[in-house]
């Protein structure tokens, strides 16, 4: 055998306790690596540089699921099973088919789950290199696409190049005009001729609660109160169940007007207003006047009657100053 020939089997001759007997033993992997490193260091270094390709995608195939276990075997399993299973298969022959279908689907599901799990672990372990490889592939594809477009553009004639450039300019201009129309418009808007709200021109805006922070104009202490005291009136009332045959009442009223002209008009027409008050009171019974609700109803009727006869402004409220009734 030549000196440079590499043997495929390493033999070691060792002396044993039995003289004249030779033993041949296979070395372990670690001893084999040591022997190779001592015999040829360069060859050992080349072996260490050879690594499995971790970035290769893991492929798991669903082949052989139906060939490993057939429907005939499932039917035979049902027929040979002891107990009720064989009886069910005899009366319901479709049960083995359903069982076989479910087993196949379950096996496929488990295989898909295992495939997804292993693929996920592989992607997580090699996320950096895979992302870098994907980016390089996309960049190469982009460069190739740009190169093809530029090559095609260079092959155009002068007229085609000018038409393409004009099309690009028109497209950009149309996009800009559309953007301006959607946002603010091409031309600036003219100022409004009328002021819709003074809040746009005010220096300060203050918010308030109209329920709790509102002050009545007529009840304000800064406004003069237009109140007139009417003369005492003695009026006969309509009899009712709680009164005698001739009930009577004595009343005094405060009349509040919205403006001073109302008070002046009522004072000028005092006799007419007193008669209007008395006629209104006479239409009510003793039981109505003697109750709180009846007094409020009386004030409302008097206010409506006076406002119908006034020529300037109107009466806001009519108050009872004195109310004495006799059954």
Q: Residues 88-111: pLDDT tens digits?
A: 777 788 888 888 888 888 888 988
Helices (H), the chain: 29-39, 41-49, 65-68, 71-80, 84-91, 95-125, 127-155, 158-182, 260-268, 270-282, 286-290, 292-309
pLDDT at 183 over 50: yes
Reported confidence tier of residue 81, pLDDT bands at 50, 70, 90: confident
Burial tier of 69 (Cβ tally within 10 Å: 0-12, 13-18, 19+): middle
Domain ranges of the chain: 13-49, 58-155, 226-326
Element (H, E) at 217: none
CA distance 279 to 5: 145
pLDDT at 61 over 80: no
Overall average pLDDT of the 270-280 stretch: 92
Q: Which fold has domain 226-326?
A: Tetrahydropterin Synthase; Chain A (3.30.479)
Is the whole-model pTM more than 0.85? Answer: no
Overall average pLDDT of the 39-61 stretch: 53
pLDDT (0 to 100) of residue 186: 67
């Amino acid at each position: 055998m030549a000196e440079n020939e590499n043997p495929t089997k390493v033999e070691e001759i060792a002396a044993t306790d039995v003289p004249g007997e030779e033993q041949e033993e296979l070395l372990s992997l670690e001893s084999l690596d040591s022997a190779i490193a001592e015999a040829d260091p360069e060859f050992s270094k080349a072996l260490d540089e050879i690594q499995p390709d971790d970035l290769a995608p893991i492929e798991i195939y669903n082949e052989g699921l139906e060939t490993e276990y057939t429907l005939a075997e499932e039917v035979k399993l049902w027929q040979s099973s002891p107990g009720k299973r064989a009886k069910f298969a005899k009366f319901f022959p479709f049960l083995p088919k359903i069982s076989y279908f479910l087993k196949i689907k379950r096996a496929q599901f488990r295989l898909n789950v295992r495939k997804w799990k292993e693929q996920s672990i592989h992607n997580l372990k090699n996320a950096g290199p895979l992302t870098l490889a994907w980016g390089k592939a996309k960049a190469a594809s982009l460069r190739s696409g740009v190169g093809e477009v530029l090559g095609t553009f260079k092959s155009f004639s002068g007229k085609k190049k000018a038409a393409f450039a004009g099309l690009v300019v028109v497209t950009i201009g149309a996009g800009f005009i559309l953007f301006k129309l959607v946002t603010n418009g091409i031309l600036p808007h003219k100022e409004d001729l009328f002021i819709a709200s003074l809040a746009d021109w005010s220096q300060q805006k203050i918010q308030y609660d109209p329920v709790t922070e509102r002050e009545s104009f007529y009840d304000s202490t800064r406004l003069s109160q237009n109140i007139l005291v009417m003369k005492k009136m003695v009026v006969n009332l309509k009899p009712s169940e709680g009164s005698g045959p001739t009930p009577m009442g004595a009343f005094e009223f405060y009349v509040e007007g919205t403006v001073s002209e109302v008070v002046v008009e009522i004072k000028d027409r005092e006799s007419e207003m007193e008669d209007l008050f008395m006629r209104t009171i006479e239409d009510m019974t003793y039981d109505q006047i003697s109750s709180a609700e009846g007094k409020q109803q009386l004030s409302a009727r008097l206010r409506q009657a006076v406002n119908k006869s006034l020529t300037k402004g109107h009466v806001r409220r009519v108050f009872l100053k004195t109310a004495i009734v006799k059954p």
